[in-house]
């Protein structure tokens, strides 16, 4: 997947593009398509993923299937991180 980093709406010093790409590549990442009042053309996805350095990230992004644009990113909350780890423990 190709990423659109032009005019990123988040601090690219706090969250490096490579880290975000690692979270997308995480084989245990959790992706959710929440209900959206905007319709299919404006759908936003949520991703819970881990970087190679074990940083837990919560990412909101848009994609058309070929290109992705990260809209927001932050560290997972304690509850989100617990959910991520519990869900993946069931898969192992």
Residue-level pLDDT at 31: 92
Cα–Cα distance, 90 to 17 (Å, whole number): 30
pTM higher than the cut 0.95? no
Cα–Cα distance, 17 to 80 (Å, whole number): 22
Please give the mean pLDDT across all residues of the chain.
89
Region 57-73 average pLDDT: 92
Specify which of 9-13, 14-18, 86-90 reaches the highest per-range mean pLDDT. Answer: 14-18
Cα–Cα distance, 66 to 36 (Å, whole number): 20
In contact, 76 and 84? CB cutoff 8 Å? yes
Does the pLDDT at position 7 exceed 80? yes
Region 17-36 average pLDDT: 90
- Domain range list for the chain: 2-91
Digit-coded pLDDT (tens) for 77-92:
999 999 999 998 876 5
């Amino acid at each position: 997947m190709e990423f659109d980093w032009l005019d990123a709406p988040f601090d690219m010093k706090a969250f490096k593009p490579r880290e975000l790409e690692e979270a997308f590549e995480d084989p245990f990442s959790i992706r959710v398509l929440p209900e959206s009042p905007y319709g299919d053309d404006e759908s936003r996805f949520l991703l819970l993923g881990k970087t190679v350095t074990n940083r837990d990230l919560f990412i909101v992004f848009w994609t058309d299937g070929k290109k992705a644009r990260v809209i927001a990113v932050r560290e997972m909350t304690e509850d989100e991180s617990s959910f991520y780890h519990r869900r993946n423990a069931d898969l192992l």
